Chains A and B, each alone.
Chain A
């Protein structure tokens, strides 16, 4: 492991503050309700141990997910996901319409756009704080088990070393009970740029 615990803790705090200042307001605006969040301990992991971050919920449920890759002065991968059977509920909230089969067609685009906006909120916050120029890819959408999504994200992120910095965030809609999860991955060699 190349990143010391102190830096990981600092990174966790930094990400948390970015989320509080930019991401929560963005998600609250989109859903029209108060959002709370929790951020699990940011950790450095070998890509051979990724199994360890797959929870039972994630193993058993098919997820609706969006992946965005960020490049520039800093590199980051963002995977936003929620159980597929909850995605229509989320879309109905976004559009202010009742849940119906009509929404099925627009669900991939809606979830993709949430991922787009929330990822942008984080990179906006990083940019405001550090002055770094970061651009994001267009969103990629998928419906699959978390194991598949995680493998594809790590492969696409394409980090040279076999280690990644992984941060796990959960957003909760206070009124609706909607839970959206986000995985952020970074290159260990870039941690110092953030802290």
Chain B
């Protein structure tokens, strides 16, 4: 039986135990997972916003998943400290939906897509391949990541589906 670690808004967790599973719920936020299956290290951040505006690092770990740039920077450093090989780190992501839409202008409430774009850019800058994603559209997702298999499982209550990426 896996021990499930739930990640709240703006938070992140790193695990090294294959009996642990990372879980979060995202709408316009993005669940970004970095993992090295050989060293058995993985992290998941619940990213709310594309970039931190003032360049200062968050004082408390609780907030550190909030901004895409800060979250990824912290995750990469911490994962390497815990034994991950930067050349082996890969990424999966889910979320970044456009939940609210104006009746004629659909691109207005676009923090979701902006989060996705920002994360993809930062991954590219860090030479981290994005192995798979389930992003966009207009519904919320439960996201689970299993360190043992490296699978990400996505569930939508509204659309009534479960998929593995």
Give min CB distance, A127 to chain B, whole Å.
24
Separation of A147 and B108 alpha carbons in the complex (Å): 21
Q: Identify the closest chain B residue to A47 (Cβ).
A: B9
Separation of A93 and B120 alpha carbons in the complex (Å): 47
Give min CB distance, B101 to chain A, whole Å.
6
Are A48 and B111 closer than 8 Å at their CB atoms?
no
Are B10 and A48 closer than 8 Å at their CB atoms?
yes
**A173 lies within 8 A of chain B by Cβ:** no
| Residue numbers in A under 8 Å from B49 (CB-CB) | 155, 158
| Residue numbers in B under 8 Å from A162 (CB-CB) | 10, 62-63, 66
Per a CB cutoff under 8 Å, which of A109, A138, A151 touches B105? Answer: A138
**A124 lies within 8 A of chain B by Cβ:** no
Interface residues on B, range: 20 to 34
Give min CB distance, B26 to chain A, whole Å.
7
**A152 lies within 8 A of chain B by Cβ:** yes
Contact string against B for A residues 57-78, beta-carbon threshold 8 Å, 1 for contact and 0 otherwise: 0000010011100000000000
Give min CB distance, A184 to chain B, whole Å.
16
| Residue numbers in A under 8 Å from B157 (CB-CB) | 145
Q: Is the interface of B mostly helix, strand, loop or mixed?
A: loop
Interface residues on A, range: 20 to 34
Q: Identify the closest chain A residue to B139 (Cβ).
A: A144
Are B27 and A152 closer than 8 Å at their CB atoms?
yes
**B3 lies within 8 A of chain A by Cβ:** no
**A156 lies within 8 A of chain B by Cβ:** yes
Per a CB cutoff under 8 Å, which of B9, B11, B63, B66 touches A151? Answer: B9
Are B100 and A140 closer than 8 Å at their CB atoms?
yes
Are A141 and B103 closer than 8 Å at their CB atoms?
yes
Are B111 and A158 closer than 8 Å at their CB atoms?
yes
Contact string against A for B residues 102-130, beta-carbon threshold 8 Å, 1 for contact and 0 otherwise: 11010011011000000000000000000
**A134 lies within 8 A of chain B by Cβ:** no
| Residue numbers in A under 8 Å from B101 (CB-CB) | 140-142
Separation of A49 and B9 alpha carbons in the complex (Å): 9
| Residue numbers in B under 8 Å from A147 (CB-CB) | 25, 27, 140
Give min CB distance, B93 to chain A, whole Å.
15
8 additional A-B pairs beyond A50-B9, A145-B158, beta carbons within 8 Å, are: A67-B100, A139-B102, A140-B102, A140-B109, A148-B140, A151-B99, A152-B111, A162-B10
Residues of A near any B CB (own CB < 8 A): 47-50, 62, 65-67, 108-109, 112, 137-145, 147-149, 151-152, 154-156, 158, 162
